[in-house]
Amino acid sequence: MSKMANILGLRIHQRLPVLASVYPCSASYNATCAIGSIHSLSKALKKWTSGGAKAPRRLILGLGVSFWTQYMNMAGSVGGNSFIASARQKGAVEEILKNVEWPEQFPFKEEDFQRYDESPDTLFYEAPRLVTHIDDPAIAALTKYYSKVFPPSNTPGISILDMCSSWVSHFPSGYKQDRIVGLGMNVEELKRNPVLTEYAVQDLNLNPKLPFEDNSFDVITNVVSVDYLTKPLDVFKEMGRILKPGGLAIMSFSNRCFWTKAISIWTSTGDADHALIVGSYFHFAGGFEPPQAVDISPNPGRSDPMYIVYSRKVSTA
Ligand SMILES: C[S@@+](CC[C@H](N)C(=O)[O-])C[C@H]1O[C@@H](n2cnc3c(N)ncnc32)[C@H](O)[C@@H]1O
């Protein structure tokens, strides 16, 4: 195993108790699956870092900071001061997508998108979960971000898709548009979502084709769920198809997940790596402007972190 893989291996063993405590689960971790992913990520990062003098420094920095973050999270969980770690995290996530020299080919392999629980997603999402998946300050930060970048409420002709939606979309209070669609796995959750004007139930891992017309949405959101997509490139290509030229896609995530259902490349990496992974989906799907990352974490170190990776569909004008 390479030195990098060793480092990542260490991170996995450190991270597991944290994840397990966020979403308690009796299952033990699938080490084989994770190790496959470590090899792939290690290879991918080697590839990204082997091409020249500029990008490598930045990517190594990203991974190094990620490792540091994991280390400091551990320290925080046993009573250390996590404020310094959070300050470093902020820089790491925001920097990681600046001037990336992407490899020619999508660097991830099939095993990177395996999950510990490969049973049908319909089973996992069968019962409605009328809960929130991030804490209130993180939700408030996301809502505040939306209020800055969304088209004004009640703008004629605006359509928004909330992908991987549930009973809440975290849109600004009273926000309305002619069309706000939620696409998710559980009909009871979607029925209760007050911001939606319509909804669709679809397993994107079985059928990544979005059931909407070309160039029909101004904004696509996806909250704390991009890590469950096993065919992300197909889904991101579809997002590009259904967005209007210049339309905005906002992927947000924290450091929590249903780890048995998250892809192995996600559960074996840290926050800055996650921004790089989501950025790679935009880049390799094609048709998007260079993706950017924003750290909107509230109360660093004292509440859930919150990150955005966003991009716009290129304008054809
Ligand atoms: C952690 S919840 C987040 C829900 C919501 N976005 C929120 O912020 O509360 C994950 C969501 O991803 C959706 N999801 C998971 N796997 C999916 C799949 N294969 N296809 C479509 N949606 C999926 C589920 O419907 C679920 O509501």
Region 97-121: mean pLDDT is 95
Of the chain, the percentage scoring pLDDT greater than 70 comes to 71
* Confidence tier at 91 by pLDDT (50, 70, 90): confident
For the domain made up of 1-317, the CATH class stated in words is alpha beta
Question: Ligand 1 within 6 A of 228 CB?
Answer: yes
Give the distance (Å) from ligand 1 centre to CA of residue 227.
10
pLDDT score of 90:
60
pLDDT score of 185:
97
For the entire predicted model, the pTM comes to 0.79
Question: Ligand 1 within 6 A of 184 CB?
Answer: yes
Region 248-277: mean pLDDT is 95
pLDDT score of 12:
30
Give the distance (Å) from ligand 1 centre to CA of residue 20.
19
Side-chain half-sphere CA neighbours of 72 within 13 A: 19
Give the distance (Å) from ligand 1 centre to CA of residue 185.
6
Question: Ligand 1 within 6 A of 166 CB?
Answer: yes
Tell me, what amino acid is at 169?
S
The position carrying tokens 């308690």 is: 24
pLDDT score of 299:
85
Q: Whose Cα sits closest to atom 26 in ligand 1? A: 164
pLDDT score of 4:
30
Give the distance (Å) from ligand 1 centre to CA of residue 39.
28
Atom of ligand 1 nearest to the CA of 257: 1
Given a cut of 80, whether residue 19 has pLDDT beyond it is: no
Question: Ligand 1 within 6 A of 204 CB?
Answer: yes
Question: Ligand 1 within 6 A of 232 CB?
Answer: no
Give the distance (Å) from ligand 1 centre to CA of residue 25.
18
Q: Best substitution site from 228, 229, 253, 257 to test ligand 1's pocket, by max atoms within 8 Å of Cβ?
A: 228
Question: Ligand 1 within 6 A of 186 CB?
Answer: yes
SS3 annotation, the chain: CCHHHHHHHHHHHHHHHHHHHHCCCCCCCCHHHHHHHHHHHHHHHHHHCCCCCHHHHHHHHHHHHHHHHHHHHHHHHCCCCHHHHHHHHHHHHHHCCCCCCCCCCCCCCHHHHCCCCCCCHHHHCCCCCCCCCCCHHHHHHHHHHHHHHCCCCCCCCCEEEEECCCCCCCCCCCCCCCEEEEEECCHHHHHCCCCCCEEEECCCCCCCCCCCCCCCEEEEEEECCHHHCCCHHHHHHHHHHHEEEEEEEEEEECCCCCCCCCCHHHHCCCHHHHHHHHHHHHHHHCCECCCEEEECCCCCCCCCCCEEEEEEECCCC
pLDDT score of 89:
58
pLDDT score of 310:
98
Given a cut of 60, whether residue 52 has pLDDT beyond it is: no
Q: Whose Cα sits closest to atom 11 in ligand 1? A: 164
Region 284-301: mean pLDDT is 94
Question: Ligand 1 within 6 A of 203 CB?
Answer: yes
Q: Best substitution site from 117, 135, 166, 168 to test ligand 1's pocket, by max atoms within 8 Å of Cβ?
A: 166
Whole-number Cα distances in Å, 71 to 10, 15, 58, 238, 307:
10, 9, 20, 37, 19
CA distance 114 to 110: 7
Q: Could you report the per-residue pLDDT of 142-169, keeping only the tens digit for each?
A: 999 999 999 999 999 999 999 999 999 9
Q: Whose Cα sits closest to atom 10 in ligand 1? A: 225
Question: Ligand 1 within 6 A of 112 CB?
Answer: no
pLDDT score of 32:
27
- Which two structure tokens, joined as six digits, stand for 281? 């989906």
Given a cut of 50, whether residue 208 has pLDDT beyond it is: yes
pLDDT score of 76:
35
- Which of 30-44, 85-99, 121-135, 211-225 reaches the highest mean pLDDT? 211-225
Question: Ligand 1 within 6 A of 40 CB?
Answer: no
* Confidence tier at 50 by pLDDT (50, 70, 90): very low
Mean of the per-residue pLDDT values for the chain? 79
* Confidence tier at 99 by pLDDT (50, 70, 90): confident
Instruction: Identify any residues that bridge with 241 across adjacent strands, giving them in sequence order.
Output: none
Please tell me the least confidently modeled range out of 69-73, 107-111, 151-155, 187-191.
69-73
Give the distance (Å) from ligand 1 centre to CA of residue 237.
19
